[in-house]
C-alpha cells in the first residue's frame, strides 16, 4: 500500500487530498476513513489503498500511520509555568474589550439564529484564546 501525507482535509465537506511520496495527489472521501475517525490533520502520515477514477487517483481505504497530535498532551509538556505578560489592569482592559467584541460581533448573529461568519469567528476565537492563555499563566 502506498504511503503519503494529508495535504488537506475538510471534515465539513467530507473530502480532501493526500500527497503521495512518489506520485500525484490522491482524492480521499470520508467513506475511506477508518471507523471512529472523523477527520484528518494536514501533515498526518497515512497508508492507503488506491484506485484510478475518472478524475484521477482515489483512496479506497486509509490507515493512520501517525495519530494526530493531541492538544492535551502538548499542553502537558509545559515544564515551567508561563509568566504573566500583562498586568492585572491591562488584563482587565483586555477582558472588557473581549466582552465588547462578543456583544458586537457574535451576539447579533446568534440572535438571528445564525453563527457568525468564519472570518469573524476566527478573529473572536483568537482574542478569547489570548485572554484564556493570560488567565491560565
Q: Which of 20-29, 62-71, 123-132 has the lowest mean pLDDT?
A: 62-71
Helix (H, G, I), strand (E, B) or coil at 34: coil
Name all domains of the chain by residue range, CATH numbers in brackets: 3-64 (2.40.50.140), 80-136 (no CATH)
33 pLDDT higher than 70:
yes
Rounded to an integer, the average pLDDT of 94-107 is 90
Determine the Cα–Cα distance for residues 103 and 13; give it in Å rounded to an integer: 30
Burial (CB count <10 Å: 0-12, 13-18, 19+), residue 21: exposed
Q: What is the pLDDT of residues 60-81, one digit of tens each?
A: 899 988 776 665 555 555 555 5
110 pLDDT higher than 80:
yes
Instruction: Tell me the pTM.
Output: 0.49
Q: Name which of 18, 43, 45, 20 is nearest 29 in CA terms.
A: 18
Computed over every residue of the chain, the mean pLDDT equals 85
For residues 57 and 51, the answer to whether their CB atoms sit within 8 Å is yes
Amino acid at each position: 500500500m502506498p504511503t503519503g501525507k494529508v495535504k488537506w482535509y475538510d471534515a465539513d465537506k467530507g473530502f480532501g487530498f493526500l500527497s503521495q511520496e512518489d506520485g500525484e495527489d490522491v482524492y480521499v472521501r470520508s467513506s475511506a476513513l477508518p471507523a471512529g475517525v472523523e477527520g484528518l490533520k494536514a501533515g498526518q502520515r497515512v497508508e492507503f489503498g488506491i484506485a484510478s477514477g475518472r478524475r484521477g487517483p482515489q483512496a479506497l481505504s486509509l490507515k493512520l500511520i501517525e495519530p494526530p497530535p493531541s492538544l492535551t498532551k502538548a499542553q502537558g509538556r509545559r515544564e515551567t509555568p508561563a509568566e504573566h505578560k500583562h498586568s492585572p489592569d491591562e488584563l482587565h482592559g483586555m477582558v472588557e474589550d473581549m466582552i465588547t467584541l462578543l456583544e458586537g460581533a457574535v451576539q447579533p448573529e446568534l440572535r438571528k439564529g445564525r453563527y457568525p461568519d468564519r472570518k469573524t469567528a476566527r478573529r473572536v476565537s483568537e482574542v478569547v484564546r489570548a485572554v484564556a492563555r493570560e488567565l491560565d499563566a
